[in-house]
Structure 1
Amino acid sequence: MAPDLLVRNGLLFDGSGSAPRQTDVLVRNGKVERIAPALPTPPGVREINAQGHWVMPGAIDIHTHYDVEVEAAPGLKESLQHGVTSVIFGNCSLSMALGSAEDAVDLFARVENLPRDVLMRWLDGKVNWTSPGAYYDHLEQLALGPNVASFLGHSNLRMAVLGKERCMQPTQLNWGEENALRSVLHAAMDAGFLGLSVDMLQWHRWKGFKYNGASAPSHYASMAEFRMLAGVLRQRGRTMQATPDAGRRHLVPLLAMMSHGLGRKPMKLSMLTSLDFTSNRQLGPLTRALASVINKGLQGDMRFQSLAVPFELWSDGCNTPVFEEMQASACLMNADSAAQRQQLYRDSDWRAQMRREWLSRFNANFHKDLAQMHIVACPDASLVGQSFAAVAATRGQAAVDTFIELICEFDESIRWHSVIANDRPAELRRFLQHPYIQLGFSDAGAHNRNLAFQNSHLWLLRDALLHSDAMPVEKAVWRITGELADWFGLDAGHIAEGRVADLLVLDPEALKTDLTGPVETEDARMGGMRMVTGSGRTVRQVIVGGHVVMDQGTPHAAFEQQRFGRLLRCQLP
């Protein structure tokens, strides 16, 4: 039972988008009992002085990949400490709801760029469920820090129904196979899953021994299969989370059309991603225009996920997600050892292919601008701080030749940084106000050497506080709380009498100064380095289900021993 709390005299943003008000919030038995000014303090109630602070619903992170990490570290501290009280995983067609531990490791290791040995250790002996409902029953038993919800992964669904061989064949399904896919998806909806996540992005590949380098199973589905499964989601009022193929952009409008509501019920569609890409400034506006056409003209219900911070990427040589789009660098990621990579480095044909693909701009998504790729670590310390283009200039070489030479010489010990998108602050503040943008896509729990966006929602609040061209603070709070909860069907995101008390007490003065971007830290459970973000003194208390789980940066004494968060089963009719 949660202890009773009285959060005294804070500026309350209730998650509805309405203007804030100075008031007290009384929490009893894990729920908000009363909201009013100058409430008396009942005996035995802990009082939190929120004078000068904001009181708001805990933030919701709609796009994480904590599916495996939650088994080893169910407190999910890297998000919780930034005031995130609800996370959604099961994205990008990958989930733990179906399949063996070995299959999960093979998929998550490469798609999410996580150490294979760490994933195997996290899952050792823990996967004992065989259905989506049993998986949700399992999540109910974990010592959760925040609340969790999940999509069913399409790749896992295909493996479970079709088998590993057939799920990776682009063949037409027969009636029995279609019926089996529908049946399992219905069972997941019955259990309370938010919907289905699908993936067309060819960068997402297996790391396993037999299928190393092959695309994830969701990629082999036909558009007819996607439409068939969309029909189940439409019938059940649930959501499709979609990751389209960046190299086959003509498929994006085909996916978007699944949401339309002309003569039928619309389907909720949450798609990756609308960003201000440095490689193509038109992609962001095009995605938002597409969403407007689907929703306004065709009566659909479509959103594009986005970030409130620059999309910064750190990479170890060719080991980086964006290099999966080139076959030459993807071959390096197929290698299981440095010795195998060295064989490729010595191959003149491989070098020629790498050079050719680097210089090709056809369907390129990564900017490939070597002047924007800066070396941050290297055995040759004289190179640190320089861009690859600058190093090339001193050597009198073409930049791409210098890049290939350095990668071949230093392999994954040369580490570099670049900004992929959202590098224009004023433009970012402008487009995040678009009605069909969803604030999310932190990718928390994945790519732990490459990126960190765990406090992106706090940067949105900071911009709202400091910049007149940003959205008002109350709208920014709504966008990361109530708007998302209502759209996905979560019992979260609002502060109201009778609702579960998932609260964040935030210091607006610290918000102005204390946020940091990604930094490298050591994480023993991760088996090495992990990139994280910082919030300093911004987050004062994080309250989940009435429990103060984080108090001024210090976890509850029973953190990861006692269950604080809950499983959020979809509330949509």
Structure 2
Amino acid sequence: MSLFIVSNSEGILVVDTGTLQRRSEGEPQKGSTLFTLIRGGTLYDGTGAAPRSADVLVGADGKVADIGTDLAAPEGAEIIDAVGCWVTPGFIDLHTHYDAELEVNPGLSESVRHGVTTALIGSCGLSLVVGEPEDMADTFCRVEGIPHELVLPLLQDIVDWSTPAGYVDHLRSLPLGPNLIGMIGHSTARSHVMGLGRSLDKTVQPTESELAAMGRLVEDSIDAGLLGMSVNLLPWDKMGGERYRSRPTPSVFARFAEYRRLAEVVRGHDGVFQAIPNIQTRWSIGPLLDMSRQRGGKTLRTSLLTMMDAAPAMGAYRLMGAAANLYNSKFGANVRFQALPTPFDLYTDGLENPVFEEFGSGTEALHLEDLAARKSLMRAPVYRDRFRKEWSNKVASRAYHRDLSEARVVECPDASLNGKTFAEIARARGTDDLATFLDLQAEYGNDLRWYSVVANAKPEVVEWIVAHPASIIGFSDAGAHLRNMAFYNYPLRMLKRVRDAELAGRSFMSVEHAVYKLTADIADFHRIDAGRLVKGARADLVVIDPEHLDDSVEEIHEAEMPEFDGLSRLVRRNDETVRAVLINGNLAWRDGQAAEDLGVGHQFGTVLALGGAAA
């Protein structure tokens, strides 16, 4: 008998005093399902406790009914053979931009297939909590690399809410795959209160009444079940659309007094304050750290981006770790740095990459949506001189290393260039590296696809970052930068890294601690009911075959997104690694296939509120 059949409109199975009975219903009810017995696996419960062999019995209410050895299977139970496998809590992705995608693809199977059972939306100061559809699309799309022409009509069609409570109700109405947690974006609140134009004017600051209104929006968002607020101080995140194209997003225009005032609202609710410092100048990290320290006996849960080893700031990750340790231990702060447990590698079509927004001539090129006009710009001598001057500036801060002997062509109409670095191509042509780079941009535009590792290139440094107590694992940007990034399966890649080191006799972290950092550690910091696989907990869990934590987790693929008119996204897929995923006790993924009602039925994910209850 299949779990998916019994949860359709023909009827559902419920439990009454330990027996299974069928009752007819017009619609399946959330959590009404067969027992599921996961038999013979090695249990990592998310607490950091040592693993143990155990069966896990999931009840008809979607919760863990029992954990033990040789558990009897109730009549009609779904049996999952987990012998040789790890059984862990579902992973929590603490940094996604699924805000738009979940409106057309609420199952979010690209994350579910890798064991992600909870995802956070509303990152980087961007959200859809309130606002006009055009303002939402203009603020969201260019920053996150999502086509404006697809998102704007979608938002115009679906936005029927005007308050945070209305938005949360809307999310709850969707047939979610994973659970959702969310934040209100500061850019969202600022533009909604001040008007988009005023919020993007550096000569205008909010009035006292506007600041109070923003504070009420943050308060209302937390009351509705969202976790807090995200802000963005990074000026190379730019507006899309036509009205204010290429200006930084609204959050960037605020003064620190505005961030502090709104952060105090979050502090008062013991919520979460997520911030992107200005990583070009880095001076803002200090004041953000200081905001986290205790005030009035309360800390501010502060999630900062990002602890990463980038060539232009070699060793900065160590300073971040030391500063966080100091503030947390001496000043009663609770600050964590988001961290990817992988190399931070990017694929780029032409110049379609946010790293080019960090200097003026890069933004000038990306301002041009007409690709023919952009190619012409690449040929203009005056522009090329300006690009060269800014690209080569040794004084200006930068996030990207701009090393063209490292950046490599992966796909080009001239196939003879594939696999070569720009420096290698330059030597063959007898020109310098940057001139060759601009020549290829002018000739091929977005048909030139290339690859670069921006940060975390050294395995030993990644291990140091992952193990640091101030790092909090995540920063996938899932749902954004669709052609640039493929970090959806980063939890599996972290487990591979940990297991490989253990097998090589140089363990830097136990598997149980790695599972803790991917689950309960994140849940506890964000104050949500998730991350532990214990009796009575909601059954969000993953069955992993460790023998397939192999090189397949690193393989790059392109996958079509039918919901977005055939747009493709970059992914890493390794479907033999994850045997099964349960969300709210329901099988969402098994043996390489999504449940037939994932993204259709309402029995899987829900909105998880700050403090533990479902919103």
CA displacement, residues 501-543 of structure 1 (integer Å, 9 cap, x when unaligned)? 0011111111235312432233333333210011231100000
Which of 182, 185, 188 does residue 150 from structure 1 map onto? Answer: 182
How many Å separate the matches in 1 of 2:597 and 2:561?
Answer: 20
The verdict on how the C-alpha distance between 1:460 and 1:342 changes in structure 2, with shifts beyond 3 A counting, is: closer
Match of residue 559 from structure 1: 598
Displacement after TM superposition at 1:343 (Å): 4.1
Moved over 6 A (4+): none
How many Å separate the matches in 1 of 2:102 and 2:342?
Answer: 25
Displacement after TM superposition at 1:263 (Å): 5.7
Which of 9, 15, 25 does residue 56 from structure 2 map onto? Answer: 25
Match of residue 493 from structure 1: 531
Which sections of structure 1, spanning at least 5 residues, go unmatched? none
Check the 8 A contact 1:2/1:545 in 2, yes or no. no
CA displacement, residues 132-184 of structure 1 (integer Å, 9 cap, x when unaligned)? 11000000011111111111110010011111122113334322112111111
1:276 aligned counterpart, secondary structure: coil
How many Å separate the matches in 2 of 1:116 and 1:109?
Answer: 6
Work out whether 1:469 is the aligned partner of 2:507. yes
Check the 8 A contact 1:237/1:572 in 2, yes or no. no
How many Å separate the matches in 2 of 1:572 and 1:285?
Answer: 33
Q: Which segment drifts farther, 402-411 or 499-508? A: 402-411
Match of residue 388 from structure 2: 355
How many Å separate the matches in 1 of 2:546 and 2:271?
Answer: 36
CA displacement, residues 171-224 of structure 1 (integer Å, 9 cap, x when unaligned)? 343221121111111111101111100001111111111101011000011100
Which of 434, 454, 459 does residue 425 from structure 1 map onto? Answer: 459
How many Å separate the matches in 2 of 1:133 and 1:124?
Answer: 19
Letter paired with 1:491 = D
How many Å separate the matches in 2 of 1:278 and 1:453?
Answer: 20
Paired residues, what number? 573
Displacement after TM superposition at 1:82 (Å): 0.2
Which sections of structure 2, spanning at least 5 residues, go unmatched? 1-31
Which of 423, 427, 449 does residue 483 from structure 2 map onto? Answer: 449
Check the 8 A contact 1:488/1:570 in 2, yes or no. yes
Match of residue 11 from structure 1: 42
Which of 205, 215, 226 does residue 259 from structure 2 map onto? Answer: 226
Match of residue 305 from structure 1: 338
Work out whether 1:191 is the aligned partner of 2:224. yes
Displacement after TM superposition at 1:346 (Å): 3.9
Match of residue 507 from structure 1: 545
How many Å separate the matches in 2 of 1:414 and 1:82?
Answer: 30
Letter paired with 2:102 = V
Check the 8 A contact 1:373/1:417 in 2, yes or no. yes
How many Å separate the matches in 1 of 2:313 and 2:464?
Answer: 18
Check the 8 A contact 2:95/2:476 in 1, yes or no. yes
CA displacement, residues 454-507 of structure 1 (integer Å, 9 cap, x when unaligned)? 111111111222213321000000000011111101111111111110011111
CA displacement, residues 406-450 of structure 1 (integer Å, 9 cap, x when unaligned)? 112222211110001111112211221000100000000000100
2:549 aligned counterpart, secondary structure: helix
Check the 8 A contact 2:499/2:511 in 1, yes or no. yes
Work out whether 1:103 is the aligned partner of 2:135. yes
Letter paired with 1:33 = A
Match of residue 517 from structure 2: 479
Work out whether 1:538 is the aligned partner of 2:538. no
Displacement after TM superposition at 1:66 (Å): 0.1
CA displacement, residues 61-120 of structure 1 (integer Å, 9 cap, x when unaligned)? 000000000000001011100000000010000001111222222122200011122223
How many Å separate the matches in 2 of 1:292 and 1:507?
Answer: 35
Check the 8 A contact 1:246/1:365 in 2, yes or no. yes
Letter paired with 1:479 = K
Q: Which segment drifts farther, 335-344 or 98-107? A: 335-344
Work out whether 1:127 is the aligned partner of 2:165. no
TM-score scaled to structure 2, two decimals? 0.91
How many Å separate the matches in 1 of 2:367 and 2:295?
Answer: 45
Displacement after TM superposition at 1:271 (Å): 0.5
TM-score scaled to structure 1, two decimals? 0.97
Work out whether 1:70 is the aligned partner of 2:110. no
Match of residue 367 from structure 2: 334
Letter paired with 2:82 = A
Q: Which segment drifts farther, 92-101 or 172-181? A: 172-181
Check the 8 A contact 2:347/2:484 in 1, yes or no. yes
How many Å separate the matches in 1 of 2:206 and 2:133?
Answer: 26
Letter paired with 1:548 = L
How many Å separate the matches in 2 of 1:433 and 1:345?
Answer: 44
How many Å separate the matches in 2 of 1:5 and 1:321?
Answer: 45
